[in-house]
Structure 1
Amino acid sequence: MAMAGESSFEDEIMESDIELDGEVVEADNDPPQKMGDPSVEISDEKRDEAQLCKKKGIDALSEGKLDEAIEHLTEAVILNPSSAIVYATRAGVFVKAKKPNAAVRDADAALKINPDSAKGYKSRGMAKAMLGKWEDAAHDLHMAAQLDYDEEIGTELKKVEPNVHKIEEHRKKYERLRKERDMKKADMEKQRKHAEEISAASAALKDGNVIAIHSSSELETKLKAASSLSRLVVLYFTAGWCGPCRFIGPVYQSLAEKHRNVVFLKVDIDELNSVAHLWNVSSVPSFFFLRNGKEIDKVVGADKNGLERKLAQHGSS
């Protein structure tokens, strides 16, 4: 069962929106572009032809003819699928065409062929930025800068890094709030368990009555319940054949009715000889005053005044 206020606290730490800068484009969902077959044997003739197609693609790009550039570079990819630079170049064209998913596919292919492809990292970083994947974008752009820095990479990083910083700060804030929530939930659970223990302890102790103990486990349960409630306990050892016990018995009951915040227990030494032996009972009636299960005082004999005095002394402490 949820504690009061828990759901509202959950609402408070829900991850909020972050105001990020930079243009994010709608992801392109076109069918994947044609890719080269890496198992194809590449002749020198095909390699030269691919180089020519690549040049045509770059020329078309310089004229702003993006579709034409992609066509030429696609021919180059098919002719020479082992060229990382061709894939990376086409990835760059896809970035300019605002087709980031296609750019990522080409950049992945380039980096698979050449893990040190600066152009592959650059194109993928710019594509990731277009998709709003700022942290991935920053990683790739930093890799590109380490391999072959240029001004375009620096400009892109200036756009990307502020968003990465905002995300990191937001994550730290969210993590702090999450920890605070968990601590509060743990504290609430602790309070709930404590309340259950108090309730169970109160139910186990009969205020205003003398509780007869019939087993060592029952005595342990009552002492534990009294400790959880920080109550004083009077443990009375008696016997059916004891004349003074018959005299003090009604007095003990009246004291229980008067001191309702004190736990009054009674053990018959003939019924529980082992318990009497454990408490070193040498004569009856004997009264042990306990707090937290430990003896703090004792009265031996049918001493009504002594019992009242000890109760006055320890009952309020």
Structure 2
Amino acid sequence: MFADNMEVPVFSDKVTQQLKLFAQQCMSDASLLHDPKLSYIKDLIEHYGGKVPEAKTNDSSDTKTEFENKSEQPQFESVPESEESEESDLELDMTGVIEPDEDAPQKMGNLTLQPNEEEIAESQAKRSEAVSAFVEKDYEKAIQLYTEAIVLNPQAALLYAKRGQVFLILNKPNACIRDCDRAIELNPDSAAAYKFRGRAYHLLGKFEEAANDLRLACKLDFDEQADEWLRETTPNARKIEEHKRKKERKAQEKLERERQERLRKAREAAKAREENTRTSQTDAGNTSPGVGDFYQFLKDPDVLQAFEDPEVAEAFREISTNPTNVLKYQNNPKVMALINKMASKFGGAGGMPGAAGMNFPGGMPGFPGAGAGRFNPPKSSPHDDVGLD
């Protein structure tokens, strides 16, 4: 048993995590608990009625050697290096932190009750008696009298705050917090409630909450004791706030790295597809020169819009069937504009299916020819009356 004056050890988050992992290892391999160096853990389990399975006697020598190595130096699952560094940065001063009280919730007043003048007067009398008991340090009696006053007048926020103060002195921070919560519910500007609740949070090791409440208490009604408590809890609160900011910043950096990695992979995949497409077009060009480029040209937004015009679409259908039909459209600006665009795009390359022998500038795809500039229609023979009235 611990001596009466022995303090309960407070473990860091890192040590607590390691103990948890070791407990999980023991649950999966009970033979660890038969190591003489860990006999105190076995004794603790059996002290509370537990039973540790007997050690296996048919283990091989290799297993025994492995067990001895584990016993000499327990192997915990390693915590990621980044988490270890983060936890090591967070060193808090736990002076004054106590174990939380687990008493049943204290009696609260009925908030739907509207006290009459007689009940209010009697409540004030009980409060006066509670103050006297508090001065005499009879804290249990003070709590009883404050409770009686609260039952008579459950709308009085100060009664809850004062009872919370007594619970605080008795090292019952959770009970204090419950009273202060009710006081703040009734009066959001209760400086006393924020003050006592802030101190209760400090006793529980909730330094951020403590600092927030104590700052607000000093803002509502400056109090030297509240200010002293605030200065006591602020260093830990700042460390926690900075730790959270650092953790959040690292999380954001990790997300950004993952996003950049996804973008990099997407660019590489797009580049690979583009190279495959070029290879396919090159292979297709070996058998049908210009066809791949021509179909890429048809995806041009301006070209697609032009072909939405029924007149243009019909004209190109006729021209692809018989290239000499182009003479019918040499005075049509819409058709000739598209023909000249195609000629400038595919200068020197040919291969549009279904059309051949036309003298298009620069070798329009499918309309092989030579020359440059705007469209030059083929000269008609004396017997050719295509396009004439």
TM-score range, shorter chain: 0.5 to 0.7
Deviation at 1:117, TM superposition (A): 1.6
8 Å CA contact retained: 1:46, 1:80: yes
Partner of 1:270: 353
Flag the 1:217–1:148 CA change in 2: closer, same or farther, 3 A.
farther
Aligned pair partner of 1:110 in 174, 183, 204: 183
Determine if contact 2:360/2:368 at 8 Å carries over to the other structure.
Answer: no
User: Is the Cα–Cα contact under 8 Å of residues 126 and 146 in structure 2 kept in the other structure?
Assistant: yes
Is 1:21 aligned with 2:93? yes
Q: Is structure 2 residue 152 aligned with structure 1 residue 71?
A: no
Q: 1:284 to 1:143 in 2, by over 3 A?
A: same
Structure 1 residue 136: Cα displacement: 2.4
The whole-number CA distance in structure 2 between the counterparts of 1:162 and 1:190 is 42
Structure 1 residues 120 and 281 mapped into 2: Cα distance closer, same or farther (>3 Å)?
A: same
CA contact (8 A) 1:15 1:174 kept: no
2:228 pairs with one of 143, 155, 158:
155
Alignment partner, residue 339 of structure 2: none
* Structure 1 range deviating more: 202-211 or 111-120: 202-211
Q: Could you tell me how far 1:183 is from its partner in structure 2?
A: 2.0
For 2:297 and 2:125, locate their aligned partners in 1 and report how far apart those are by CA, in whole Å.
93
Deviation, 1:196, is 1.3
Q: Quick one: structure 1 residues 214 and 190, their matched pair in 2 at CA, closer, same or farther if it must change by over 3 Å?
A: same
**For 1:16 and 1:120, how far apart are their aligned partners in 2?**
34
Cα distance, 1:30–1:277 mapped onto 2, change above 3 Å = farther
Question: Are the counterparts in 1 of residues 363 and 369 from structure 2 also a CA contact under 8 Å?
Answer: no
Asked whether the equivalents of residues 111 and 154 of structure 2 are also in contact (C-alpha less than 8 Å), the reply is: yes
Post-superposition Cα deviations, 1:248-287, rounded to whole Å, max 9, x if no partner, equal xxxxxxxxxxxxxxxxxx86233589xx98986387488x
* Aligned partner of 1:141 among 214, 217, 226: 214
Q: 1:71 to 1:15 in 2, by over 3 A?
A: farther
Q: Distance in 2 between matches of 1:126 and 1:24?
A: 10
CA-to-partner distance for each residue in 1:281-300, whole Å, 9 max, x for gaps? 387488xxxxxxxxxxxxxx
Which letter does structure 1 place at the counterpart of 2:86?
S
TM-score by length of 1: 0.62
Q: 1:267 to 1:78 in 2, by over 3 A?
A: farther
Aligned to 2:46: none
Asked if the contact 1:53–1:76 (Cα under 8 Å) also holds between the matched residues in 2, the reply is yes
Q: 1:175 to 1:41 in 2, by over 3 A?
A: closer
Alignment of 1:222-301 (within 5 A): 268-270=351-353, 281=364, 284=368
SS for the counterpart of 1:188 is: helix
Report how far residue 172 of structure 1 moved. Answer: 2.5
User: 2:273 is paired with a residue of what secondary structure?
Assistant: helix
Q: SS of the counterpart of 1:16?
A: helix
Q: Distance in 1 between the 2:294 and 2:144 partners?
A: 87
Residue 216 of structure 1, CA deviation: 5.8
For 2:179 and 2:85, how far apart are their aligned partners in 1?
34
| Most deviating of 46-55 and 200-209 | 200-209
Change (3 A) 1:215 1:157: same
Larger displacement relative to structure 2 (101-110 or 63-72):
63-72
In structure 1, the gaps of 5 or more residues are 1-9, 222-265, 287-317
Q: Give the C-alpha shift of residue 125 in structure 1.
A: 1.4
Structure 2 unpaired stretches of 5+? 1-79, 299-348, 371-389
Note the C-alpha offset of 1:215: 5.3
Distance change (3 Å), C-alpha of 1:71 and 1:280: farther
Distance 1:38 1:278 in 2: 94
CA distance in structure 2 between the partners assigned to 1:206 and 1:64 by the alignment: 93
More strand by share: 1
Q: Is the 8 A contact 1:13 1:177 kept in 2?
A: no
- 8 Å CA contact 1:21–1:163 kept in 2: the answer is yes
Counterpart contact for 2:101–2:175, Cα < 8 Å: yes
Which of 262, 267, 271 is the aligned partner of 1:189? 262
Cα distance, 1:52 vs structure 2: 2.9
For 1:204 and 1:219, locate their aligned partners in 2 and report how far apart those are by CA, in whole Å: 11
Deviations along 1:230-256, one digit per CA (max 9) or x if unpaired, are xxxxxxxxxxxxxxxxxxxxxxxxxxx
Q: What is the RMSD of the two structures over their aligned residues, measured on CA atoms?
A: 3.6
Whether contact under 8 Å (2:122, 2:149) holds in the other structure is yes
Counting aligned pairs with the same residue, the percent is 32
**1:207 CA drift (Å):** 8.8
Displacement of 1:220 in angstroms is 6.3
Count of residue pairs brought into register by the alignment: 233
Larger-gyration structure (1/2): 2
Q: What TM-score do you get using the length of structure 2 for normalisation?
A: 0.51
